[in-house]
A and B are shown apart, each in its own frame.
Chain A
Amino acid sequence: MSKSAKAIVLLALAAAFPGAACASEKVGLGRPALSEEIKAWDIDVRPDGQGLPEGKGSVSDGEALFQTKCSICHGEFGEGAGRWPVLAGGKDSLTSDRPEKTIGSFWPYASTVYDYIHRAMPFGEAQSLNPDEVYALTAYLMNLNDLVPSDFVLSRENFPKDLPNEKNFYDDDRETTEKAFWRTDPCMSNCKAKVEVTGHAAILDVTPDDQKDNKDEKPSAGVE
Chain B
Amino acid sequence: MSDVQAFSRRRVLNLGLAGAGAAALAPTLASAQTPDPLIVERQEWTQYLGDGVNAKPYGVPSKFEKDVVRREVEWLTASRQSSVSFTPLHALDGVITPNGLCFVRHHGGEAEIDPAKHRFMINGMVDKPLVFTMEDVKRMPGRVNRVYFLECAANSGMEWRGSQLNGCQFTHGMIHNVVYTGVPLKAFLNEAGVSAKGKWVLAEGADASAMTRSIPLEKAMDDCLVAWAMNGEALRPEQGYPLRLVVPGWEGNMWIKWLRRVEVGDQPWAQREETSKYTDLLADGRSRQHTFLMDAKSVVTNPSPQAPLTSKGPNVLSGAAWSGRGAIKRVDVSMDGGRNWRTARIEGPTFPRAMARFYVDFDWNGQELLLQSRAMDDSGYVQPTKNELRKFRGTNSIYHNNGIQTWLVRPDGSAENVEVG
Question: Using a CB–CB distance below 8 Å, which chain A residues touch chain B?
Answer: 24, 26-27, 29-33, 37-38, 41-48, 73, 82-85, 94-95, 99, 101, 103, 106-109, 111-112, 115-116, 119-120, 123-124, 126-127, 168-174, 177-178, 180-184, 186-192, 195-211, 214-224
Is B380 in contact with chain A by the CB < 8 A criterion?
A: yes
**B161 x A221 contact (CB < 8 A):** yes
Q: Within 8 Å CB of B260, what residues of A?
A: 41
Residues B233-260 near A (CB distance < 8 A): 260
Residues B119-176 near A (CB distance < 8 A): 121-124, 128-132, 136, 139-141, 152, 154, 157-158, 160-167, 170
**A172 x B293 contact (CB < 8 A):** yes
Q: Given A38-B121, A172-B289, A221-B157 in contact, is the A101-B140 Cβ separation under 8 Å?
A: no
Is B197 in contact with chain A by the CB < 8 A criterion?
A: no
**A197 x B418 contact (CB < 8 A):** yes
A172 to B153 Cα, complex, angstroms: 14
Partner of B272, one of A116, A187, A220: A116
Partner of A41, one of B170, B192, B204: B204
**B340 x A101 contact (CB < 8 A):** no
Give 5 nearest A-B pairs by CB, closest first: A195-B337, A199-B419, A201-B417, A30-B130, A201-B163
Interface of A is mostly: loop
Question: Using a CB–CB distance below 8 Å, which chain B residues touch chain A?
Answer: 3-4, 7-8, 11, 14-16, 67, 69, 71-79, 81-84, 107-108, 121-124, 128-132, 136, 139-141, 152, 154, 157-158, 160-167, 170, 187-188, 190-192, 202, 204, 208-210, 212, 260-261, 263, 265, 267, 269-272, 275-277, 279, 281, 283-293, 295, 305, 332, 336-342, 370, 374, 376, 379-384, 388, 392, 396, 398, 408, 416-421
A94 to B287 Cα, complex, angstroms: 10
Given contacts A33-B130, A204-B162, 13 further A-B contacts (CB under 8 A): A29-B139, A30-B130, A109-B275, A115-B271, A126-B108, A195-B338, A197-B419, A198-B418, A202-B11, A211-B69, A214-B73, A215-B75, A220-B75
In angstroms, how far is the closest chain A Cβ from the Cβ of B330? 9
Which of chain B's residues has its CB closest to A193's CB? B339
**B419 x A198 contact (CB < 8 A):** yes
Which of chain A's residues has its CB closest to B3's CB? A203
A192 to B398 Cα, complex, angstroms: 28
Q: Within 8 Å CB of A38, what residues of B?
A: 121, 123, 129
Which of chain B's residues has its CB closest to A165's CB? B287
In angstroms, how far is the closest chain A Cβ from the Cβ of B363? 19
**A202 x B286 contact (CB < 8 A):** no
Sample of 23 A–B contacts (CB below 8 Å): A26-B191, A32-B129, A33-B131, A38-B123, A38-B129, A42-B261, A85-B78, A120-B210, A124-B81, A126-B208, A170-B289, A178-B392, A183-B380, A190-B339, A198-B418, A199-B419, A206-B165, A209-B14, A214-B73, A214-B74, A220-B158, A222-B75, A223-B84
**B130 x A44 contact (CB < 8 A):** no
**A195 x B75 contact (CB < 8 A):** no
Q: Given A200-B4, A200-B163, A202-B416 in contact, is the A182-B157 Cβ separation under 8 Å?
A: no
Q: Given A38-B121, A109-B270 in contact, is the A126-B210 Cβ separation under 8 Å?
A: yes
**A106 x B276 contact (CB < 8 A):** yes
Which of chain B's residues has its CB closest to A34's CB? B131
**A204 x B131 contact (CB < 8 A):** no
**B382 x A182 contact (CB < 8 A):** yes
Partner of B14, one of A191, A192, A210: A210
**B275 x A196 contact (CB < 8 A):** no
A196 to B338 Cα, complex, angstroms: 11
Q: Within 8 Å CB of A120, what residues of B?
A: 107-108, 208-210, 272
Partner of B75, one of A46, A116, A177, A206: A206
A222 to B411 Cα, complex, angstroms: 34
Partner of B74, one of A33, A42, A178, A215: A215
A138 to B126 Cα, complex, angstroms: 31
**B165 x A207 contact (CB < 8 A):** yes
Q: Given A111-B270, A126-B209, A205-B7 in contact, is the A171-B419 Cβ separation under 8 Å?
A: no
Q: Given A27-B191, A189-B341 in contact, is the A201-B418 Cβ separation under 8 Å?
A: yes
A85 to B15 Cα, complex, angstroms: 33
Q: Given A101-B276, A124-B208, A170-B286 in contact, is the A221-B160 Cβ separation under 8 Å?
A: yes
Q: Within 8 Å CB of A73, what residues of B?
A: 78
In angstroms, how far is the closest chain B Cβ from the Cβ of A168? 4
A120 to B11 Cα, complex, angstroms: 40
**B131 x A30 contact (CB < 8 A):** yes
**A219 x B130 contact (CB < 8 A):** no
**B288 x A173 contact (CB < 8 A):** yes
Which of chain B's residues has its CB closest to A215's CB? B74
Q: Given A183-B380, A208-B71 in contact, is the A201-B286 Cβ separation under 8 Å?
A: no
A217 to B140 Cα, complex, angstroms: 50
In angstroms, how far is the closest chain A Cβ from the Cβ of B327? 15
Q: Given A44-B212, A95-B285, A199-B162 in contact, is the A182-B380 Cβ separation under 8 Å?
A: yes
**B382 x A181 contact (CB < 8 A):** yes
**B82 x A224 contact (CB < 8 A):** yes
**B163 x A204 contact (CB < 8 A):** yes
In angstroms, how far is the closest chain B Cβ from the Cβ of A171? 5
Partner of A181, one of B81, B160, B381: B381
Which of chain A's residues has its CB closest to B132's CB? A30
**B123 x A42 contact (CB < 8 A):** yes
Q: Within 8 Å CB of B374, what residues of A?
A: 186
Which of chain B's residues has its CB closest to A162's CB? B270
Q: Given A169-B286, A189-B341 in contact, is the A174-B167 Cβ separation under 8 Å?
A: no
**B132 x A29 contact (CB < 8 A):** yes
**A31 x B7 contact (CB < 8 A):** no
